[in-house]
Chain A
């Protein structure tokens, strides 16, 4: 094993690492917003809104994100819609992750007993006051551990964007391999860099779950 070669190309790998962190952070923010809204709508009483949300969630959870990426990046131009690579990646990962987060949010909200809703109604709270003051604060304790668990998956899933040529960490790793022919060392380095972010996150999830168990 010769990690010296990795050190020589450290700038490329670091560049990829930063892109991975950037796209992950951005999709975490955007898909959390999408997922929160979709999850809230799914638990609302507006029947006409629920069906399209269910369709959205099932479609994006029921197909490989790779295919979603191909359809948006390679497929849309055939329909006359041109989209940059960055926008395609951001859009697809936002919708894909938003669908999973919607389910996490829905399950969290539904875990709060109906008695809480009714008690909120009997003191005259509006739906949005009830959600903000009673349901969401309690649901959040249920939602946060799986949500952060999902963020870890999302971080790793963004590596799929390398397939369409997005210059995140795996793509840059492959570049380095092409130049050096040292796949093992390079992939190990890349894996270690994913681990550096995901391990603290997963410890954080453990901590949240332990705290919830005692509370």
Chain B
């Protein structure tokens, strides 16, 4: 579904991603972990072209990405993205946040959109917040609406960039539950997260990124209980200490 080969990305003179290759199969859930500054966000942002890559190749669902604006827009419609800071549109209701993409990008009719919105709000458990503005919602509710906004595009894959790290601890669970349901439904997912319990339950594969490279990868079991690399071990220790 997502094929990255030899991605190189720099900001100015600083190379952030060194020849990163990664392949995510349809329906697979991949969790990326790694220390701050490792390039995890940059990698996700490259996948849906929020950043241009210097070299390498990105293939989404069999289609090789170019710089063509139309193609990029189409790709973005197919790959949902959820940000750490939610980035909901504060001047629009939950309903309109969700309806925007289907209206303008998918060009759906109104009746169809109402149904899409209701179905998705039901899925994330926020049907009663349909007419609320983001400012009237808790962080956890906002993030669930942000997930709903991405899902309304009926994406083939979802990218999550630390979706719970801006949340108060008591609100993390409700967002992870929505993500868990998504994984169960067979959604292809790439998640940057340090929620180890979630990774253990849901991930098919855990990838450890350090200094712009994939250090090692494996099943959650292997990575968490029997990591090969010393840097993985020390990183996992630091996470455990924090929790």
Contact = CB atoms under 8 A, between A and B. Distances in A.
Interface of A: 113, 115-116, 118-126, 129, 133-134, 137-138
Contacts of A123: 76-77, 100-101, 105, 149-150, 152-153
26 contacts: A115-B85, A115-B87, A116-B87, A119-B83, A119-B87, A119-B88, A119-B149, A122-B48, A122-B50, A122-B76, A122-B79, A122-B81, A122-B150, A123-B77, A123-B100, A123-B101, A123-B105, A123-B152, A123-B153, A124-B73, A124-B153, A125-B100, A125-B105, A133-B100, A133-B104, A138-B91
**Could you say which interface size class chain B belongs to?**
20 to 34
A129 to B, nearest CB: 5
Contacts of B73: 124, 126
A118 B77 contact: no
A8 B158 CA distance: 78
Interface in B65-83: 73-74, 76-77, 79-81, 83
A126 B90 CA distance: 19
Closest CB pairs A-B (n = 9): A123-B101, A124-B105, A124-B77, A119-B87, A115-B87, A122-B81, A124-B76, A124-B73, A129-B104
B193 to A, nearest CB: 18
Contacts of A121: 50, 76
Nearest to B84: A115
B105 A122 contact: no
B122 interface: no
A125 B152 CA distance: 14
A122 B105 CA distance: 11
Contacts of B80: 122
Contacts of A138: 89-91
Interface of B: 48, 50, 73-74, 76-77, 79-81, 83, 85, 87-91, 100-101, 104-105, 146, 149-150, 152-153
Nearest to A119: B87
B66 to A, nearest CB: 16
A125 to B, nearest CB: 6
B101 A118 contact: no
A149 B76 CA distance: 41
A29 B89 CA distance: 30
Given A124-B101, A124-B153, A118 B76 contact: no
A137 B85 CA distance: 20
Contacts of B77: 123-124
User: Which of A119, A120, A126 has the most B CB atoms < 10 Å from its CB?
Assistant: A119
A122 B97 CA distance: 12
A120 B105 CA distance: 11
Nearest to A215: B135
A125 B99 CA distance: 12
Nearest to B76: A124
A150 to B, nearest CB: 23
B159 to A, nearest CB: 9
